[in-house]
Amino acid sequence: MTKGTFPVESFKGIETPFYYYDIDLLKKTLSIVKELTHKYGYHQHYAVKANANHKILQLIAAAGFGADCVSGNEVKAAISAGFPCSKIVFAGVGKTDKEINLGIDYNIFCFNVESLPELEVINELAEKKGKKVSVAIRINPNVDAHTHEYITTGLNENKFGFSMSSLDKVFDKIKTLQNIELIGLHFHIGSQITEVETFEPLCERINELQNQCEAKGIQLKNINVGGGLGIDYDDPNANPVPPFEAYFELFHKNLELRKDQMVHFELGRSIVAQCGALISRVTYVKEGDSKKFVILDAGMTDLIRPALYQAYHKVENISSDLPIEKYDVVGPICESSDSFVKDYELNGTKRGDLVALRSAGAYGEIMASQYNCREIPKAYFSDKL
Ligand SMILES: *Cc1c(COP(=O)(O)O)cnc(C)c1O
């Protein structure tokens, strides 16, 4: 497999580890999504939780996207990066009163509501402000996303959204709440979904629900299908851009829309993952009895996905063209889970080499922690090194 191209010379003076973002690839990805969005008349809300780096957010906002937020601070980060309040949606099972008030004060587009008590609190807080607030209800469609159990969200047994069976109760409740307007249905079945056909049963479920709503005389203007499109972690060089065409076409073919209905998407990972890499320096190469360990200056505090969900990131030695050898590549943190890959083929590696952990633009930098009193890695951009 080929290696990615990195400006290794320009990295020389930069303290490692750091995140490096390929801005050309981000812009290319955004323009492809934008074109398809126009083609089908869809609406995009970038899922801020995937990467909330200010410059990345600014570029996505400038491309005309809205934002999907899951905390009050994400709403603030989105607004400060230039996302219009009128294109912000706010999801999450545990929105606090403070966060709800913030969303109401900013007149965001819509709250994606996940429980009856949340509906009541939003109504109460809106009433105090003399406002009517738009909500969509998040429905748990009981669709298996065929992904890791920690990132599947659409099955009955997890904490997100309303179950299909509770919907009549929810619709009845909403009728009694004066300061809430129901404007749509919201779904999000999971993340890192690599087979686009997985979204077919979601479309079927949405079609059934629409019939159900219609039978009850409920008309909804907005259908939000969430995010979840996966990326190719195995071969980011062959597939730098996810299969957006097949993905949007699937929804176009399978969703039965009513007149003037708007379809919203909340893509996170598929927008930003491939443009980012974590760049780290080799601190030691340690020879064990039966293995060689490459010990990096980056660890699970900088990129937690492998430790958290056994995720794989392609590792490349970007300083070496020496013959391939096998290594375990690990971090310096005092946890056995602080390991990136095992028995892995890398070009012959020595102390001081630079290593790239690929496809780290999503759920990378934003998940960094200070465990072991470590520093949060800085970010650098291809257009400004
Ligand atoms: C995380 C999340 C997304 C984005 O998921 P990706 O897999 O990164 O596309 C979208 N919507 C909601 C509600 C989420 O929680």
**Which atom, in ligand 1's list, is nearest to the CA of 192?**
7
Give the residue-averaged pLDDT of 206-219.
92
**Which atom, in ligand 1's list, is nearest to the CA of 193?**
7
Write the residue with the smallest CA distance to atom 11 of ligand 1. 226
Q: Is the pLDDT of residue 142 over 90?
A: no
Structure tokens given for 381: 């951009």
**Which atom, in ligand 1's list, is nearest to the CA of 269?**
8
The predicted structure's pLDDT at residue 59: 98
Q: Is the pLDDT of residue 51 over 70?
A: yes
- Last residue of a domain, which of 207, 242, 271? 271
Binding-site annotation, residues for pyridoxal 5'-phosphate: 228, 266-269, 363
Residue 346: inside a domain = yes
Give the number of other CB atoms < 10 A from CB of residue 168.
Answer: 10
User: 215 with 336, same domain?
Assistant: no
- CA of 153 from ligand 1 middle (Å) equals 10
- CA of 227 from ligand 1 middle (Å) equals 5
User: 282 with 248, same domain?
Assistant: no
Range of the domain at 364: 8-18+274-381
Residue 378: which pLDDT band, with cuts at 50, 70 and 90?
Answer: very high
The predicted structure's pLDDT at residue 148: 63
- Last residue of a domain, which of 236, 255, 271? 271
The domain total for the chain is 2
User: 293 with 242, same domain?
Assistant: no
The separation between CA 344 and the C-alpha centre of its own chain, rounded to angstroms, equals: 27
- CA of 343 from ligand 1 middle (Å) equals 32
- Where residue 375 sits, what CATH number does that domain have? 2.40.37.10
Residue 361: inside a domain = yes
- Where residue 230 sits, what CATH number does that domain have? 3.20.20.10
User: 123 with 160, same domain?
Assistant: yes
User: 235 with 339, same domain?
Assistant: no
- Last residue of a domain, which of 214, 236, 271? 271
Residue 3: inside a domain = no
The pLDDT tens digits of the residues spanning 302-312 come to 999 999 999 99
Whole-number Å distance between alpha carbons of 167 and 185: 11
**Which atom, in ligand 1's list, is nearest to the CA of 266?**
10
Residue 165: inside a domain = yes
Ligand 1, residues 162, 266, 305, 309: which to mutate, most atoms within 8 A of Cβ? 266
Residue 278: inside a domain = yes
User: 136 with 253, same domain?
Assistant: yes
The predicted structure's pLDDT at residue 164: 84
The pLDDT tens digits of the residues spanning 16-35 come to 999 999 999 999 999 999 99
> Which residues are catalytically annotated?
334
Binding-site annotation, residues: 228, 266-269, 305, 309, 335, 363
The predicted structure's pLDDT at residue 371: 97
- CA of 239 from ligand 1 middle (Å) equals 21
User: 135 with 66, same domain?
Assistant: yes
The predicted structure's pLDDT at residue 66: 98
Rounded to 5°, the CA angle 222-226-229 comes to: 140
User: 292 with 149, same domain?
Assistant: no
User: 267 with 290, same domain?
Assistant: no
> Which residues of the chain form beta strands (DSSP E)?
18-21, 43-47, 66-69, 88-90, 110-113, 133-140, 162-163, 180-186, 222-224, 262-265, 276-287, 292-296, 315-317, 324-330, 339-347, 354-357, 378-381
Higher-pLDDT residue of 157 and 77 is 77
The predicted structure's pLDDT at residue 206: 96
Q: Is the pLDDT of residue 158 over 90?
A: no
Residue carrying structure tokens 């801005």: 23
What lines the ligand 1 site, CB under 6 Å? 47, 49-50, 68, 70, 91, 188, 191, 226-229, 266-270
User: 80 with 195, same domain?
Assistant: yes
Minimum mean pLDDT among 59-63, 161-165, 182-186, 232-236: which range? 161-165
The pLDDT tens digits of the residues spanning 72-120 come to 999 999 999 999 999 999 999 999 999 999 999 999 999 999 999 999 9
Residue 145: which pLDDT band, with cuts at 50, 70 and 90?
Answer: confident
Give the residue-averaged pLDDT of 359-365.
98
User: 141 with 64, same domain?
Assistant: yes
Query: Does 17 sit behind a cis peptide bond, omega within 30 degrees of 0 on the bond before it?
Result: yes
The pLDDT tens digits of the residues spanning 310-346 come to 999 999 999 999 999 999 999 999 999 999 999 999 9
